[in-house]
Structure 1
């Protein structure tokens, strides 16, 4: 990637440590407990080398050890128990942070403006809820809070080493400081690398979602192998970027190991010399070595925490990109011509038409953002430090498609109107504007004489019955789909609307299957697996529609249980017409 290309692109989503803190504070109780356990554990750890030094001195003087060994043993056991309990608390806190972040993301995604879904890929949004939020757990389980409590041990060990031998301490500490500086410099590269890797994971999820959702079309077109190659290419690019993260993270391990080894060798060599010249005793040298190991443990946690935090911030940037996107209704008051949201009953005009378009123009502005090719990112990582650190993505290339221009019409109350025109004429767009999925670029739309922008979106949509052109059916049961907009509807109401849209036969066939199963056994164990399911293949013919018992003979209990029949992923167990009618039944049940 050239420098000109790099400067022409915007930076990818970023996050700061300040934005991570609120996620940690959602778990104040476990956080406080973990820190308290860390403080107590630090005290028990720091007491051990002091007691060990006294044990050695008593052995040298041939004095009885007395209760010292008992106290030292108890401290070791208590320290181990506290460490295990703290680990559990941190794991629980990590799961709580992940849950909170997922709740926040889900709540925001379901309230994003419809235009955001036009510009984003479904799989990428799913990836943010799944893999990106999981990375936040690493901040806790891989050392951030442990590192904070470990600071007490670290500084306590430093003080102990300084008191025992300032000269030996100065040389040892210099090695540690140099290692720490190198780790910080290396870890700074992790955050943008993780951002790139997670972006590619999102692209992979979007590609897989596309392939699965269109599997029948892909099979019919004989495109299975091509789709497989395209998906594998995304997976391979995610693998390459994942390796980049692994390589950077792997540098931290040998640096930590070298720091420990050099420190240990310095202490043994120089410490042995200072014991020989009488500057310190053997007990002091042993205490110094134990303090060194106590210092190295939290230092390793700090090294791991630096890497974990940088990884988490890379993922948090993608989470925050969605969380900070304004929700659909965030600016409704500012957009309202009246300067406030008003109830429909307050402004409705009895003589006004049901719907009025006043010189309305509208242009779609949508396109999935064009991303930098992952291979370019990898190549730039070798020679372009700035490009690698920035984790840049190409700006979204927004495609504008003008659909409506200066459109005006009225729809009288209690009238029935059909919008007729060729594909792309704006029929679906007109309905989307009435539902206020979008706002017009110019002009206004009125409901009962009230500008839609003055109305609460929930109240507006409660006045309308909307059935989409492709009639999406949710995975689940008939009941799940019907209760989407009317969660308190009774079974009788659900059955009524199904019959009103000519789906009574479907319901009754399923109920008949249940009745047949019930007559063949002493009780019914479960709802049917799917629409019109039969107990086995031998009995399918006997359950045909011609052999159904009369509707009046079908028990109401079986009809109610038939509502629990599964419709399959995207309603695959229903025909296209049945999907449309189920969507209409759902709208009728809401009774707008």
Structure 2
């Protein structure tokens, strides 16, 4: 379902603290579901009206019994009213619960879509598990508000008003005494609502922090175990648990203070009616039937009053969850995707040699960028990555190599300069258009829970079996597929836990090659490979460079020396560019990198036969 951000929850302000504003805010959540709300309200009111009619019939039964009249028809009418009330109330409750689920479904769709499209800078500021808790825990609390509190507030108020009118008709004096008791309880409840709201907000925030810290620890569990940090992590998470506990206890304390107030209104009213009403019957001021009817209305009044008090408290608690959801929905997001046809694997590639007039696949012109505006990472960097060639980026840690990849993927926007794809400024292309041209294999290889086939075809879910087999062979995954129960349909476990680091790297490489990108970005692709597989991967990279631009971040000479050009980065600028031998002769920075063993000397390489025969090169039509 399509909605604009304006239709979504917004961060709460101080004006939202009042109960009236909170009710109005929660009511806005039912936009688009008002018909269901009206039907549910109508059914609930009908059921309540049938309930209000029962004391009048009971009064007639008592009075008729005193006069010795036939009671059968009245008893049948009373039974029919009771059964009809129960059936109507059940229908109304079902409509309410279904409406609540629909509102939550709508919110969750909006939240999931928003969180998946947030600007990358926002993920640097917020913890992912806390954002996830807004989709789960907070929306569940809002479901209770929408499916119960709002209608209970309306119907409870109307039913209470109806009962009060009938009680006024039966005995105004008794009603005055009941009203005084209820007023005292109402003052107590209202004084507690603000504290319940604040405590609920703290509890929801603490629950989000628990999820975030636990995700942090579980995501690095091997490190935690090796460094014997289980107790420290448990203590860190325990602080959040204690905070949630304290907030929960405060909420419970305030809610427990509300319970006696509600009991005062209910039990106190009942006792007053019983005592004072009994005395009035003994003095013949009222009939026994009047007392029975008034007592029934007093007991009926207790339920709607309780539901009203409970609904107001739940609405105030729900405002805490609403505020967190509103904050998430207001976080800056990337522009919405355009409707583009599904991307299928390319079956044709360009084969003409790169000419002097062909624009490079990627070009950076005087590009500047910093994750923090006051601390630039790239300082006027310029270089190109031509089609059908391999370009290597080398430099010390922090020189800006991975940042170049992040900008090429449009995860961030440059602060200055130009980023061009095939000669077109990135600003003239949508992010989706830019990303459809590239594939990335980064250091943190992403393998998701699922089958080997699902991971390989993640970017190309409609790939043919021939294409899948091609990249499985190219990435040396045949042995992995043979080892897994089910082969390509074998499960890899959470984050690829059943694979080694090198195998995860090769899965990511197969995924990238299957997409047949125009620009292939490889971030230290050989970092997890042994010597044999490293040599094999080097051959794959050369083959891939025959049909697309390959831009690789490399620390190993085995990767660098086969590149058509090497770009040397130093402190966010490109200080040299050229082939390996030329840079050794002309670039002091490059020589220093090699001498410092950041680039390993070629003499350490195996001189065995080159296993290029194990690969089928990427050719047109494949």
Q: What range is the shorter-chain TM-score in?
A: 0.7 to 0.9
Give the one of 53, 67, 81 matched to 1:75.
81
Quote the residue 1:368 is aligned against.
Answer: none
Q: Does 1:153 align with 2:159?
A: yes
Distance 1:503 1:325 in 2: 40
Distance 1:18 1:491, change over 3 A: farther
Is the contact made by 1:187 and 1:310 (CA closer than 8 Å) also made in structure 2? yes
Give the one of 111, 114, 136 matched to 1:108.
114
Report the alpha carbon displacement of residue 87 of structure 1 after superposing the two structures with TM.
3.4
Quote the residue 2:322 is aligned against.
Answer: 316
Quote the residue 1:182 is aligned against.
Answer: 188
Distance 1:408 1:570 in 2: 36
What is the root-mean-square deviation in Å for CA atoms of aligned residues? Answer: 2.6
Quote the residue 2:274 is aligned against.
Answer: 268
Report the alpha carbon displacement of residue 286 of structure 1 after superposing the two structures with TM.
1.7
SS of residue paired to 1:418: strand
Quote the residue 2:174 is aligned against.
Answer: 168
Quote the residue 1:563 is aligned against.
Answer: 488
Regions of 4+ moved over 6 Å: 10-15
Is the contact made by 1:204 and 1:234 (CA closer than 8 Å) also made in structure 2? yes
Quote the residue 1:417 is aligned against.
Answer: 391
Q: Does 1:404 align with 2:378?
A: yes
SS of residue paired to 1:466: strand
SS of residue paired to 1:563: helix
SS of residue paired to 1:112: coil
- List per-residue Cα deviations over 1:327-355 (Å, max 9, x = no partner): 211699xxxxxxxxxxxxxxxx9644332
Structure 1 residue runs of 5 or longer lacking an equivalent are 1-9, 333-348, 366-398, 511-530, 534-560
Give the one of 397, 404, 414 matched to 1:440.
414
SS of residue paired to 1:425: coil
Give the one of 40, 63, 77 matched to 1:57.
63
Quote the residue 2:101 is aligned against.
Answer: 95
Give the one of 363, 367, 372 matched to 1:360.
367
Quote the residue 1:395 is aligned against.
Answer: none
Structure 2 residue runs of 5 or longer lacking an equivalent are 1-11, 339-355, 518-622
Is the contact made by 1:26 and 1:100 (CA closer than 8 Å) also made in structure 2? no
Give the one of 433, 454, 458 matched to 1:459.
433
- List per-residue Cα deviations over 1:453-506 (Å, max 9, x = no partner): 221111110011122221111111112212221121123322221111111222
Distance 2:465 2:38 in 1: 49
Report the alpha carbon displacement of residue 295 of structure 1 after superposing the two structures with TM.
1.5
Summarize the alignment of residues 465-480 of structure 1 with structure 2, pairs less than 5 Å apart: 465-480=439-454
Report the alpha carbon displacement of residue 19 of structure 1 after superposing the two structures with TM.
4.3
Distance 2:16 2:421 in 1: 42
Q: Does 1:579 align with 2:493?
A: no
Distance 1:401 1:193, change over 3 A: farther
Is the contact made by 1:434 and 1:445 (CA closer than 8 Å) also made in structure 2? yes
- List per-residue Cα deviations over 1:382-419 (Å, max 9, x = no partner): xxxxxxxxxxxxxxxxx964311222233333332111
Distance 2:53 2:309 in 1: 24
By relative contact order (CA 8 Å, sep 6+), the higher-ranking structure is 1
Quote the residue 2:135 is aligned against.
Answer: 129
Q: Does 1:487 align with 2:493?
A: no
Distance 2:367 2:232 in 1: 43
Give the one of 271, 287, 303 matched to 1:297.
303
Q: Does 1:239 align with 2:242?
A: no
Quote the residue 1:253 is aligned against.
Answer: 259
- List per-residue Cα deviations over 1:90-140 (Å, max 9, x = no partner): 333333333332222111111111111111112211221221111112214
Distance 1:201 1:363, change over 3 A: same
Report the alpha carbon displacement of residue 187 of structure 1 after superposing the two structures with TM.
1.6
Quote the residue 1:428 is aligned against.
Answer: 402
Distance 1:19 1:224, change over 3 A: same
Distance 1:323 1:17, change over 3 A: farther
Distance 1:12 1:266, change over 3 A: closer
- List per-residue Cα deviations over 1:69-102 (Å, max 9, x = no partner): 1101111222223333433443333333333322
Report the alpha carbon displacement of residue 298 of structure 1 after superposing the two structures with TM.
0.8
Distance 1:564 1:326 in 2: 38
TM-score scaled by length of structure 2: 0.73
Distance 1:505 1:423 in 2: 34
Is the contact made by 2:27 and 2:150 (CA closer than 8 Å) also made in structure 1? no
Distance 1:351 1:591 in 2: 19
Quote the residue 2:513 is aligned against.
Answer: 588
Larger Rg over CA atoms:
2
